[in-house]
Amino acid sequence: MRDITHFIDGASVAGTSGRFSDIFNPNTGEVQARVALASEAEVGKAVASALRAQQTWALVNPQRRARVMFDFKRLVEANMDQLAEMLSAEHGKVIADSKGDVQRGLEVIEFACGIPHALKGEYTEGAGPGIDVYSMRQPLGVAAGITPFNFPAMIPMWMFGIAIAVGNSFILKPSEKDPSVPMRLAELMMEAGAPKGVLNVVHGDKTAVDAILDHPDIKAVSFVGSSDIASYVYSRGTAAGKRVQAMGGAKNHGIILPDADLEQATKDIIGAAYGSAGERCMALPVVVPVGKQTADEVRERVLAEIDSLKVGVSTDAAAQYGPVVTAAHKQRIEDYIQMGVDEGAELVADGRGFKLQGYENGFFIGPTLFDQVKPTMRTYQEEIFGPVLQIVRAETFEEALELPSSHQYGNGVAIFTRNGRAAREFAARVNVGMVGINVPIPVPVAYHTFGGWKRSAFGDVNQHGMEGVRFYTKVKTITARWPEGSVEDSAFVIPTMK
């Protein structure tokens, strides 16, 4: 049995708690490794290492820290194939999707390469008689990230890239379901020239999470996961005096107006709903066609696309998506499908019972489609996080606008239309944090910022972009006045021969 260790003070460190969690191969259902689960004391060792490292790392000038980021980017690109294969083997997403996972994380690293510019403060000359006012951004100290299984490369890089670039050290607690890629990223960060202790990785469950939230030397915590856990992390972390950004669940809607390009919209929705087996916080699991004619045509087009979808093992280059991450998660999704049937929704395509020849024990679920879903149904109100698409029919633009606006989640939403005025009005009025106009997965580019509303996000500051710089730094403002005196008395007068 292969054991995955912690990464503390620049080296792999075997776990001492005696507790482990199994890591599965989602394609076969077999246990392929186990990962050590950290105790509170082991988290403490990682924090002690990070604290030592940060005191000298913060003194390194921003340009030199940026050079480490440039080298890290180069190393990740050179190891792209290895990272993607490692990611797919534990998560189950297809290789192309895994490469996209790594690449979207790298885009934030690219942003971090420009940290000297992003860290520049403000300056006002002559704010008063002989008084100048200026500000500077300084690192917090030790920061931490608690990341989910669905993006084991991208989300850690979203967090530690900016945190380290601005002068902090970082404790990463990745998902215990697919921890190998975060370990490899930490090794590459050391190879890029970051001092040991600047990036530490500890694996674990609630014990490790609570140790991070309670430790007095950790000044900021970033989290991505379910809304219930996000609320817990935010409450406990802020109660301990920490900065916390906690991103939760989602139920993203795709609104289709009658004038939309239905062929393109359908293809976009298929990819957004079923890609990565629906295991994305920015997936699009709800489609809202406006008007009966639009809804009927969308339904038929989606069914036709489903018939051609290929579900396969993660290494199959022709597969659109692979298995879900664990048997427990597969069962959870299938329970939601049955719940939808029991609630009275029309099950148009049932993905339960899907078997792949030669991989009968893999965690596969076929593409599933519901029609006639009502807003009162629990399957609509909650996040399923699997390859399940729900059609919620609306009669008018206002009704379609109200659905995502009143939902408990407010992560992302998309509208498909050729009408610029309708799109503009929708974007302005919808009560959701990220909006796509004819873009099904509106994840902002790295130099903008990522974050939802309502129960999709707890905290006041978003992920990456300048919001990330603000989250991982504190502002110091200086008001300066110098004593009056004769300039000629200065020691810097050019000497003359007399």
Q: What residues act catalytically?
A: 281
Give the number of other Cβ atoms within 10 Å of residue 102's Cβ: 23
For 325-353, letters b (16+ CB in 10 Å) and e give bbeebbeebbebbeebeeeebebbbbbee
Strand partners, 463: 450
Cα-to-chain-centroid distance, residue 12: 25
| The token pair that represents 184 in the structure block | 């490899």
Distance CA 226, CA 158 (A): 18
Distance CA 389, CA 253 (A): 10
Closest CA to 464 of 241, 236, 204, 145: 145
Q: Which helix (H) or strand (E) holds 255?
A: strand 253-256
Per DSSP, 456 falls in state T
CA distance readout (Å), 419 to 259, 286, 381, 414, 423 = 7, 21, 29, 14, 6
Q: What is the 3-state secondary structure (H, E, C) of 463-490?
A: ECHHHHHHHCEEEEEEEEECCCCCHHHC
Amino acid at 240: A
Distance separating the N- and C-terminal Cα atoms of the chain: 86
